[in-house]
Amino acid sequence: MAKLFHYRAINNAFGDPCILIQLSRLKRALLLDLGDIRRISFSEILKISDIFVTHTHIDHFIGFDQVIRAILRRQEPIRIFGPENIIEAVEGKLRGYTWNLVEDYPLKIETYGIKNNKEMSFAVFSASKGFKKEEKGIIGIKNNIILNDSLFKVKATVLSHGIPVIAYSIQEEYHININKVELEKRGLQIGPWLGELKKLVKTHYKFDPHKILKPKNKNLKLTVDTPRGTIPIEEVFPLLIITKGEKISYVMDVAPKEENIKKLINFLRHSDILFCEAYFLHKDIDRALQRNHLTAKIVGEIARKAKVREVKILHISPKYIENPQEVYKEVERSRQGILHQ
C-alpha cells in the first residue's frame, strides 16, 4: 500500500546524522538534523519545507548554509525547529554573510526555539529585510505538538546532552488508501481529485478507536468535486481504506540519565521506526556519561520498553569504526532482552 513517508539516512553511522523524509506525491520533504547534507541533491533540497534540529553541535547543524544557498530564491518559507538557542544560532549564521542584493527575494526563514514542553519562541528572518531578526513572540505547545499539519503531526520533547537537546516524532494520524474496485464500480477515475479528497478528510475528520470517521465539527457540511460532479463527502467514504498512520522517531545525543530514559520510553511509544544514536558500547559507560551520549544497551532497552517496531542506528563513535557490528549486536540483544551485563 502507498505510504506517506519515504525516508532515507543521508550518511552512514560514522557520518553526520541526517534523515530526509519525502512526502509521497507531494513536492515536499522534511529534514531531521542539518549535518553534512552534500549527498542530498539540489532538487531535493528545494522541496524541504521543515527542518527539525536536535541541537546545534556542528555535526548536526553545519548543513544550514547549503540549504539557504539552494532555496534563496524560493517563494515558500522554510521552517526551522530546534532547541531554545536555535534562533540565536540561525541569526549568527546569517550574520556571517552580506545581504545587500536580496531585498527582492521572497524567502522567509521561520525559526522556532523550543523552550520546554509548553512553549517555543518564534522569530522570522526575511530576505526582503536583509535577514534581520524579527521576534514574533511565544507560541504555546499542547501535548508536545510543535507542528500540526493536515497530513501529519510533529511532536518534540526536551532532553539533556549537557545542553538541551530535542527528540522528535513525526506521525501520520491515519493513512488513507483508495479502494480501486469500489472506484471503478462507481465509474470514477483516478485523478488529482483523490488527493484533494484525502486532504479534506484528514483536515476535517478524526479516526476514532471504533474505526469510524467522525467530523471534528458536527455541523460541518462538506462536498467533494468528483469527475462525475459535486457530491456530499460522506458518499465517497466507502472508497476509503483507512489504516494506522506511521510514526517515525528521531533521537540523537542524549545523556544516559534516568530522567532522559524515562521520558524517551514514553515519547517513543509504538514508533514504527526509531532513528537513534548508539554512540558507545555499554562497556564504555563511563565515557558515555562524560560525553552525554547513550550506549547501545540503553538504546535497546528503551526500544524494548517503548515497543518500537524497528531501530536504525545512525550515530556511532569513530572509536568503533573497525567493528560497528558490535554496536548493532548490542542494541539488538538488549532489545530482545537477552543482554544481562
Cβ 207 to Zn ion, closest distance in Å? 37
- Residue among 53 and 233 whose Cβ is closer to Zn ion: 53
Please give the Cα distance from 128 to 104 (Å, whole number): 6
Q: What are phi and psi of 324, to 5 degrees?
A: -65, -20
| Residue that is written with C-alpha cell 522556532 in the block | 112
Q: How many Cβ atoms are within 10 Å of 170's Cβ, its own excluded?
A: 26
- Residue among 162 and 337 whose Cβ is closer to Zn ion: 162
* Per-residue interface string for the shown chain with Zn ion, residues 120-159, x marking contact by CB under 5 A: ----------------------------------------
Site for Zn ion contains 253 (CB under 5 A)? yes
Secondary structure of residue 108 in the 3-state scheme:
strand
- Residue among 129 and 291 whose Cβ is closer to Zn ion: 291
**Which class for 287: exposed (0-12), middle (13-18), buried (19 or more C-beta within 10 A)?**
middle
Stretch that binds Zn ion, among 37-45, 51-59, 295-303, 317-325 (CB under 5 A): 51-59
Cβ 34 to Zn ion, closest distance in Å? 12
Site for Zn ion contains 244 (CB under 5 A)? no
Site for Zn ion contains 57 (CB under 5 A)? yes
Question: Could you write out the DSSP letters of every residue in 161-212?
Answer: SSSEEEEEEEE-SEEEEE-HHHHHHTT---SHHHHHHHHHHHHHEEE-TTS-
Q: Which grid cell sits at 127?
A: 530576505
Cβ 59 to Zn ion, closest distance in Å? 5
Stretch that binds Zn ion, among 87-95, 98-106, 110-118, 247-255 (CB under 5 A): 247-255
With a CB cutoff of 8 Å and minimum separation 6, the contacts of 60 are: 16, 17, 33, 34, 35, 53, 54, 252, 253
- Residue among 59 and 246 whose Cβ is closer to Zn ion: 59
Site for Zn ion contains 59 (CB under 5 A)? yes
- Residue among 50 and 59 whose Cβ is closer to Zn ion: 59
With a CB cutoff of 8 Å and minimum separation 6, the contacts of 200 are: 222, 224, 233
CA dihedral 279, 283, 284, 289 (to 10 degrees): 90
| Residue that is written with C-alpha cell 539557504 in the block | 68
Stretch that binds Zn ion, among 57-65, 141-149, 169-177, 217-225 (CB under 5 A): 57-65
Please give the Cα distance from 144 to 164 (Å, whole number): 16
Please give the Cα distance from 128 to 225 (Å, whole number): 39
Cβ 88 to Zn ion, closest distance in Å? 17
Site for Zn ion contains 16 (CB under 5 A)? no
Which residue in 266, 282, 78, 48 sits closest to 167, CA to CA? 266
Stretch that binds Zn ion, among 43-51, 216-224, 232-240, 248-256 (CB under 5 A): 248-256
Size of the site for Zn ion (CB under 5 A): 3
Cβ 55 to Zn ion, closest distance in Å? 6
- Residue among 2 and 58 whose Cβ is closer to Zn ion: 58
Cβ 122 to Zn ion, closest distance in Å? 24
- Residue among 7 and 279 whose Cβ is closer to Zn ion: 279
Residues that bind Zn ion (CB under 5 A): 57, 59, 253
